[in-house]
Amino acid sequence: MFKANNTTGNNKKMADINAPDRLNRIVEGTVIQGEINADSNLRIDGTVKGEISTKGRLVVGVNGRIEGNIICQNADIEGEIIGTIKVEDLLSLKATAKLNGEMTTKKLHIEPGADFTGSCTMSNSLKKTSSNLDKTNVTVEKILEEHN
C-alpha cells in the first residue's frame, strides 16, 4: 500500500521529486481546509481552501478548485483558482482554467479559452517581486522610487 523509501545509505540520492510514485492527489469530492506543504508533485481534483506550497509541480484538474495562496515550482491549471499564485518556472493555464487573482511567474503559457482576471508579474526571480504583491494603491511614482 505504501512505498518504502529506496535510499539505503547516505551516498544514495533521495527519490526524484518529479517521479510518478511521488504524486500527492486530492480527488474529486474531497474538501480540505488548511495548509498543504509538499516536497513532491501535487494534483488537486477536489477543493482546497487554504495555502498550498510544493517544491514540485502543481496540477489543478478540471474539477479542482483552490481558494488561497499558492507557491510551487511549475503549475498546470485546468480548474479554478481564487487567490495568489507564485510559480518559480512555468505556469500553464489550460483552456478550461479560471484564475481570479494575482500571478507571478518566470514563464507563462495561456491556451485560448482560459479565463484570467487579475494581475500578472513575470520575473526571473520571485524574490524580487514578492514584496510588490502585497501592496495596494501602487502608483507609478512609488514603483520608480523602489527601482532607484
The DSSP secondary structure of 8-39, one letter per residue, reads: -STTSPPPPTTSGGG-EEE-TT-EEES-EEES
Does residue 91 contact residue 109 with C-beta atoms inside 8 Å?
yes
**How would you class 66 by CB atoms within 10 Å of its CB: exposed for 0-12, middle for 13-18, buried for 19 or more?**
buried
pLDDT tens digits, 21-49 = 667 899 999 999 999 999 999 999 999 99
Closest C-alpha among 75, 66, 77 to residue 35: 66
Residue 64: its H or E element: none
Give residue 10's pLDDT: 44
- pLDDT per residue as tens, the chain (148 positions): 444 444 444 443 445 655 556 678 999 999 999 999 999 999 999 999 999 999 999 999 999 999 999 999 999 999 999 999 999 999 999 999 999 999 999 999 999 999 999 999 998 765 544 444 454 566 666 666 666 5
Predicted TM-score (pTM) of the model is: 0.71
Give residue 124's pLDDT: 76
Give residue 83's pLDDT: 96
Give residue 89's pLDDT: 95
Whole-angstrom distance, CA of residue 21 vs CA of residue 10:
21
Strands annotated E in 12-141: 24-26, 31-33, 36-38, 42-44, 47-49, 52-54, 57-60, 65-67, 70-72, 74-77, 80-82, 85-93, 98-110, 115-122
